[in-house]
Amino acid sequence: MKIEKAFIDGILVVSPDVFQDDRGYFYESYNESTLKSQGFEHKFVQDNISFSQRNTLRGLHYQAGEFAQGKLCSVLKGCVIDTAVDIRFNSPTFGRCFQIELSDDNHTQLWIPPGFAHGFSVISDEVLFSYKCTNFYNKASERTIIYNDIDLNIDWKIESPIVSDKDKKGKSFSSIEKDFIYEKLKS
């Protein structure tokens, strides 16, 4: 398993060792000991899986306060453009987004620590998206930034996105509260 730091402090790209032959493939999607040996010290308490069709856009979501979540994201079937937006005030990358293609072909995972809004767009016919969370879901702590915010200007790589009513009512990026203040992370 290989862990690479992204250009935004705290974001990690995790690439598992994939063993493939004419029968298919095998890989460890999570190994606490292996990740710990590379400095990854986070504990997961909840796993989530969503199924979506092409052009679905989910996000931009985060939880604030004591229920802030870190997420280890992966795709079990299909392909997405996974997006994390730095919402940590005073961060040198505040308001910048990191995007990566996650798929059942590349098996890449994305670690998104607390202090980021998260969303993804589906670029395959359908997708099974999986993410491990460091904290439990709490509706009162949930926040949403509008997916098409003009300040963020995110290219979701899809046309005519299918978006939930909740996500259509997200706040503008410029109006988010100071839920997170940047401190250099240990990853």
Catalytic-role residue among 62, 107, 131, 147:
131
- Both tokens of 23, joined, read 């029968």
Distance, CA of 12 to CA of 94 (rounded, Å) = 17
Phi-psi region of 86 (alpha: psi -120 to 50; beta: other; left: phi over 0): beta
Concerning whether 118 is annotated as a catalytic residue, the answer is no
CA atoms within 13 A on the CB side of 142: 13
Strands 116-122 and 2-5: unpaired
Distance, CA of 126 to CA of 132 (rounded, Å) = 20
- Both tokens of 48, joined, read 């989530």
Catalytic-role residue among 61, 62, 107, 147:
61
Phi-psi region of 61 (alpha: psi -120 to 50; beta: other; left: phi over 0): beta
Concerning whether 27 is annotated as a catalytic residue, the answer is no
Residue 120 in contact with residue 30, Cβ under 8 Å? no
Catalytic residue annotation = 61, 131
